[in-house]
Every structure is written in C-alpha cells, then in structure tokens.
C-alpha cells in the first residue's frame, strides 16, 4: 500500500452511515480523500461529504469494482457484506481490505464467532445452533426460559434478535427469523448480568492499543447511553480489556474492533458480541480520548501507528439521540446541551428522522461519571428530532 | 436563518484552502452539508470533501450566485474578496453572510482597519498612508529605518509586505507593491518587540468567548510555530485578550476573529493585524481546547452558542509543516511524530507541494510549554513534504 500521507490517497468505506461519517472526518484530517459505497439509498451521512460516492449491491462484486479501483484501501462500517464477496473484491481489484476478509470470516457469522473465541479460551455466553423445534425446546430445558434467538448474520440494534419466553414464542420467532432458510439461527442463554460492558481495540502491524472499559446502557436492545469508565472494579475493567486484546489477536485483526461483554452477578466476564469496526459504545472517544476510535480506525487500516486511547478527563458519558418522530430531520431544543461547557453534540446528517433511528449523540466530559450522566440525561431530555 | 441543525442546512465557504477544510470538518460534525466557492484552481483542500463545489471569480457576483443560492449561510476563509462584492452577493441571493460585509468593511483595508481600532482606543503600530516618494522619506525620518511597506489589501504570509532599509529600497518596493495604482500602500514603523502574540475571539448574538493568548514564532514573515499559553506574564496575556474582545465588539463581529499583537520591549501591547476568520495561530485549538476555533467558527456564524475555549492541558504547541520541495505532495518521515502520545498530525490534502507552502501542521500537548516545544521541533525536524 502506498504511503497514506500521499495527497491523493483514498480510503473507501463499505457503508455510508454515521460510523463511516465519523471515520471519514478523521481521514480528512490526514489529508486523505474519501470514497463511499452504499447499498441503501437512505444511507446519506457520507454521500454529502465526498464527490466519490458509489452505490450498488453488497452481493454483486461487479457493482463494487469501480469503487474499489478508486480506493487505496477499503474498510467496513457494517457487517452486512459477506467475507467471500470481500475476498473476491480484494482479489479482483487488487485493493487491500482491512479488517481482512480472512479476519472477518472468523466473526461474520455469530455461530462461527462464538466458536472462534471459545476455542481461544475466551468465555462466551452459552449458545447452540438451532435446527428445528426440538432444538428450541432442548435449549430451554437446558438453560431455562426466557432465552434469546438470534440470526447468525445481519442483526443489529435488536433487529434479527428475539427474546423468547416459551416454546410457542420460540417456534414463532424461529420462523420469523427465517428458520434455516436464510441464515443459521442461534439460541443464546439469558445471562443474569449486572452490567453490560464494552471495550474497543485498535491494532495493526505497528502496534495495539486498548480503550477504557465502558458500560453500555441498553433499552429494548438499543444502546441509549455509555458511561466511561464503567462503574465496576478496576479488576473487572482490566479483565474485559485483556479479553478484548486476546480476541483481536485471535482473529489477527487489523483495524478497530469493539467487544461487548456481560458482567454476570457471580463476577464472570462473558464475551457477547464483537464488531470489526467503530462501535456506538466508542463514540465518547471523539472528545473523551486523546485519539478517538474513528481516528484509530483510519490510522490502523492505513498502516499508521495506533494513537493513545487514554481518557483526557476522568469520566465521559455519551447519550444516543434517537429520532422522536417521522419527519425531515431537525434537532430542536438542543440549545442548553450545546451551551454546556464540555458538552459536545454530533449530528449524523441523515435527511429523514423516524422514531428510534440513531440520528445524533451527545457527549459530556467531567470528573464524576454519575454526576455527568445525570446532567447529560437532563440536558438531552427535551431534545426532539 | 433556519435552524442550523436541520438536516439539509448548508454552510458555504468563500475560499477552499486549509482553513475552510478544518472548519468544514466541524460543520460535518453538526450534520451540516458543506459548499465551497473557489477562485483558485489550485485550492483543492475542500473540493474533495463535498459534492457542492463551485468556482469562479471573487470579483464577479454573477459567478457566485449559484453557490450562494445553495447555501443557508456563507462565511469567509480569506480576505481576498471585496466587502462591496460580499454585500451585493448577500443582497441579491438573500443568503446571510457572516462576518457581515459591514463588519468586514471596517478591517478589509489595512488603513481603515488601523483607523477603526485606533478610534476605539486600541493601541496600534505607528503607520501612515504613503502617496509618493516624499511620504516614504518623511516616514523614515519620523520613525526611523528600517520600516515596513504593506499593501492595504490582499497581503498574507509576507506576500504584499516589504521591509525597507532606506529611501532607495522604499522607492523600489513602493513601485513593486503597485504604487497607488492597485491598493493603498501603508508604511508601518518597525516595532521593537520581545514577542508576537495572538488571540482568537468567537462572538455572536448568543455570547462571546476568548481563547488563551498564544505566541507566534515567525520566520521570514511566515508563522512557523505557536506556543500556548504565550511565555509572558498573565497580566500581558489578559491585556491582549481584553483588546481582542474590544476589537471584536468594535466591528460588531459575528464569527471567529484572530488578532496579532506586538509586545514591545517597554511592555506595551500593540495590535498589528486582524483576521475575520480562523487563523494559523489557532490551529493548536483543535486538540488543545475544549472547543476549537474551527468549531466556534461554525457555531458562531450559524447562530449556535459559542463553545468553551479553555485549554484541556496546561500547554499546547503547534508546528507548521511547510513544503520542502516541489513535487506531488507526500509527507515522509512522520512516523515518530504520529506515534508520539499526545501528538497530532493534520495534513491539508493539497495535491502539490512547493517549498514554503503550508501543507500540514503538528500539535503536541503537555504540561510544560518549552519542553513540548523542543520535543515537537525535534519530532518534526526530519519531515519532508
């Protein structure tokens, strides 16, 4: 790969949502050009940030070739593409892709992901591949009800997931998720957890850095807030960070990776999910850390040394600002949040708002996590989008 | 003006250089779209950051109308346009322009600028309008040789300026700068200064904030480094900040403004130049301050509350990285500077490098200004562009 600090060096994003947008901003900062390939017409956050905008299908390598040939390196902003497609795209275009298709193949399917990490000695939540109604019943008998059914590919923010309380619900959810016809369906035991934790890791041939362990606050399977550092013992924080590093090394990851963990009531740290890209749990790092997850995304896939992930203040909290209604997007009643010293609003430039859609976020830094969390909740409570 | 947090809100920059680039990045962060108008084909830093790119002449309002009509607000990144043109553009397009043409008219011409600030009681360097050879001689007789000849409009980074040692040099420089035929020519007394200081101010109807007082280190009239806070007494720092606020209020400034001062050997603080835009002396604020000059540029011209300008660490230094040769731009030997914790490289995306051209900068934060200055100089010494 040529020197990424060459003036016409172009980084390409597969996916044009807010994660690519926030990484693209960091690419600009290094003088790079940005290209974007989108399979969704509603994916506008990056389209207005570059003249190099392409669209087509994630299933059709031909539709991606022009994009790939315009790039010096390609990276991911979501997991909706298949690693085989990625491999073909790389091999035909000659453009490197990081995280590599080989790393991605180890985690793209939730079943293979569990096996990959389990084999490396990383504790994961109890799971089983479900092939039929008997499987649904047996899993409930073994681990208890309720449990979680998940599509092994393509789920996010609660889509592709379903909590099932009994055999009847399990049977109907199994069908709704596509049975075995689309992707494998996985059952996951409900974990009796006290906290949901997350850690980001940036890694390439020049080095590896690990971000602080944060807590994600979830409502209806959607992350609504993040507290950093997580309000758990430093021993637990360190454990999660160690597992995150081990997981990244296990898949020989090059890029930025995020790992979500359950801290169980008995003090275990179990890996729940991984993502080969920047993650909602790391948005606080834009202002909260010396080097944000987005900057380290760009640095690591381009072969630059990963930057210092240290917090610049003792605490950082991030509040997701979800659409409150269906309309042309506009953020209202944000004056107080914007005027707050140390408060930082980010909007993703999506043209249309709808209820629950991730539209923006708000970060507040300070000295005491709970105090700034309460303040940030209060400051953002009246915001309408 | 409509709510700037509306999804299709577009901020337009007159000028497409690195200042617009770094402001555009902040506009993206608020979900805005960016448009750019350039009168120089070599001005590429923003062109690759938006599909809304226009070009034409700063003298021809017609060539700027399409750009203006695509924008919800327009702002400046340089002073090469005439305030009368700005006024006509605003009045014909109906698009607001900040800083306003009326504010800009008070400082666009160096002669009027001096009078504006002098009348407000702000001490400025001794100066005189030069109309002929007698004027050149009389100024030297009164204030001594050498002194500075400046074109009243269009100068930057030493262009449009000339230090003259005697009558003969003065006569030849007067002709070279265009005599009275292009712009007024100004003589400025050489000030016996110990430090060159700079301060940025962000102001709009919601509030006013002032940045720390920094020192600019100049070589051949080009700023090569900035140290924040300036290594002068807090009384002097405060004096410069007060004058900067007063100057901004004097011109009823809306936007971000930068002021350069001389600290004389007798302890006076004299206003040297002002700029109605982000300024090289404030680049350190990207990582150095809670809210950068670029973010406050966007905030203030869009009517958002100005953000906290406080330093996040005790000290910040910025090193300008100038082109070292004529070639396709590429930054070499920057590995150590990038790997340094707390070090931040910014490249402007210019396609061509030439000796002395501003191509990139490097910021280092820390606890002791001189220590990090020496470190930053060392880390960037071998960089070639």
Mean pLDDT across A62-78: 96
Residues of B in contact with A308 (CB under 8 A): 341-342
Question: How many other CB atoms are found less than 10 A from the CB of residue B60?
Answer: 11
Contact B304 A328 (CB under 8 A): no
What's the pLDDT band for A248 if we cut at 50, 70, 90?
very high
Distance CA A272, CA A96 (A): 29
Q: Exposure string (b/e) for B44-55, b if CB count within 10 Å is 16 or more?
A: bbbbbbbebbbb
Question: What is the C-alpha R_g of chain A?
Answer: 20
- Six-digit token string for A107: 């985690």
Contact B33 A349 (CB under 8 A): yes
- Contact between residue B228 and residue B316 where contact means Cβ atoms under 8 Å apart: yes
**Which uninterrupted H or E stretch holds B217?**
strand B214-219
What's the pLDDT band for A384 if we cut at 50, 70, 90?
very high
Mean pLDDT across A308-333: 97
What's the pLDDT band for A208 if we cut at 50, 70, 90?
very high
| Listed residue (B90, B109, B106) closest to B12, CA to CA | B90
| Listed residue (A117, A174, A167) closest to A149, CA to CA | A174
- Contact between residue A364 and residue A342 where contact means Cβ atoms under 8 Å apart: yes
Helix, strand counts (H, E) of chain B: 12, 19
- Contact between residue A320 and residue A358 where contact means Cβ atoms under 8 Å apart: yes
SS3 B315: strand
CA neighbours closer than 13 Å in the CB half-sphere of residue A157: 12
How close A243 comes to chain B (CA, Å)? 24
Measured between CB atoms, which of B5, B310, B332 is closest to A334? B5
Contact B29 A347 (CB under 8 A): yes
**How does pLDDT run across A36-54, given as a tens digit for each residue?**
999 987 668 899 999 999 9
Residues of B in contact with A7 (CB under 8 A): 328-330, 347, 349-353
What's the pLDDT band for A120 if we cut at 50, 70, 90?
very high
- Contact between residue B168 and residue B140 where contact means Cβ atoms under 8 Å apart: no
Residues of A in contact with B48 (CB under 8 A): 33-34, 50-52
Q: Which residue of A has its CA nearest to B206?
A: A339
Contact A5 B347 (CB under 8 A): yes
Instruction: Output the pLDDT for position A158.
Output: 63
User: Is the model's pLDDT at A279 over the cut of 90?
Assistant: yes
Question: Can the peptide bond before residue B223 be classed as cis, meaning omega within 30 degrees of 0?
Answer: no
ipTM computed for the complex: 0.94
User: Is the model's pLDDT at A183 over the cut of 90?
Assistant: no
Contact A50 B53 (CB under 8 A): no
- Contact between residue B28 and residue A349 where contact means Cβ atoms under 8 Å apart: yes
Instruction: Output the pLDDT for position B155.
Output: 66
Instruction: Output the pLDDT for position B117.
Output: 98
What's the pLDDT band for A220 if we cut at 50, 70, 90?
confident
Q: What is the number of residues in chain A?
A: 385
- Contact between residue A329 and residue A351 where contact means Cβ atoms under 8 Å apart: yes
Contact B330 A360 (CB under 8 A): no
Residue ranges for chain B with pLDDT beneath 50: none
Contact B307 A338 (CB under 8 A): yes
Across chain A, the runs of DSSP E, i.e. the strands, are 10-14, 33-38, 52-55, 73-76, 127-130, 147-151, 161-164, 185-189, 193-204, 207-210, 214-219, 222-228, 255-264, 269-275, 315-322, 327-328, 343-347, 352-353, 358-366
| Listed residue (A292, A312, A296, A316) closest to A304, CA to CA | A296
Residues of B in contact with A30 (CB under 8 A): 345-347
Instruction: Output the pLDDT for position B141.
Output: 94
SS3 B268: coil
How close B2 comes to chain A (CA, Å)? 10
- Contact between residue B351 and residue B44 where contact means Cβ atoms under 8 Å apart: yes
Instruction: Output the pLDDT for position B376.
Output: 98
* Tokens 């990424």 belong to residue: A4
Measured between CB atoms, which of B33, B52, B351 is closest to A8? B351
**How does pLDDT run across A11-44, given as a tens digit for each residue?**
999 999 999 999 999 999 999 999 999 998 766 8
Distance CA A325, CA B137 (A): 72
Question: What is the C-alpha R_g of chain B?
Answer: 20
Instruction: Output the pLDDT for position A156.
Output: 64
Listed in sequence order, the residues at least 6 apart from B38 whose beta carbon sits closer than 8 Å to its beta carbon are B15, B16, B46, B47, B53, B54, B55
Q: Which residue of A has its CA nearest to B208?
A: A339
Q: Which domains does chain A have, with CATH numbers?
A: 10-97 (3.40.50.20), 126-189 (3.30.1490.20), 193-380 (3.30.470.20)
Instruction: Output the pLDDT for position B157.
Output: 62
């Amino acid at each position: 790969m040529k020197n990424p600090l060459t003036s016409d060096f172009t980084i390409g994003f597969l996916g044009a949502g807010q994660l690519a947008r926030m990484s693209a901003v960091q690419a600009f900062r290094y003088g790079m050009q940005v290209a974007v390939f989108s399979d969704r017409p509603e994916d506008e956050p990056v389209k207005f940030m570059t003249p190099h905008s392409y669209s087509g299908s994630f299933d059709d390598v031909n539709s991606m070739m022009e994009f790939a040939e315009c790039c010096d390196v390609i990276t991911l902003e979501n997991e909706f593409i298949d690693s085989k497609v990625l491999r073909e795209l790389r091999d035909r275009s000659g453009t490197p892709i990081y995280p590599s298709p080989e790393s991605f193949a180890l985690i793209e399917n939730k079943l293979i992901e569990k096996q990959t990490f389990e084999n490396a000695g990383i504790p994961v939540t109890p799971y089983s591949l479900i092939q039929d109604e008997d499987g649904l019943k047996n899993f409930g008998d073994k681990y208890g009800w309720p449990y979680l059914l998940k599509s092994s590919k393509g789920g996010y923010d609660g889509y592709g997931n379903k909590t099932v309380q009994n055999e009847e619900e399990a049977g109907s959810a199994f069908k709704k998720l596509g049975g075995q016809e689309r992707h494998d369906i996985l059952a996951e035991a409900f974990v009796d957890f006290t906290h949901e934790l997350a850690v980001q890791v940036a890694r390439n041939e020049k080095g590896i850095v690990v971000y602080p362990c944060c807590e994600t606050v979830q409502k209806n399977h959607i992350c609504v807030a993040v507290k950093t550092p997580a309000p758990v013992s430093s021993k637990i924080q360190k454990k999660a960070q160690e597992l995150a590093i081990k997981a990244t090394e296990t898949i020989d990851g090059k890029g930025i990776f995020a790992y979500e963990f359950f801290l169980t009531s008995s003090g275990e740290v179990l890996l729940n999910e991984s993502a080969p890209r920047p993650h909602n749990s790391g948005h606080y790092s834009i202002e909260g850390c010396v080097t944000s997850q987005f900057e380290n995304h760009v640095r690591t896939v381009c072969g630059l040394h990963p930057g210092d992930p240290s917090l610049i203040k003792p605490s950082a909290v991030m509040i997701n600002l979800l659409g409150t209604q269906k309309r042309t997007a506009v953020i209202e009643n944000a004056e107080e949040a914007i005027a707050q010293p140390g408060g930082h609003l980010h909007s993703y430039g999506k043209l249309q708002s709808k209820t629950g859609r991730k539209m923006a976020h708000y970060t507040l830094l300070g000295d005491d996590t709970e105090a700034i969390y309460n303040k940030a909740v209060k400051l953002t409570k009246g915001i309408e989008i």
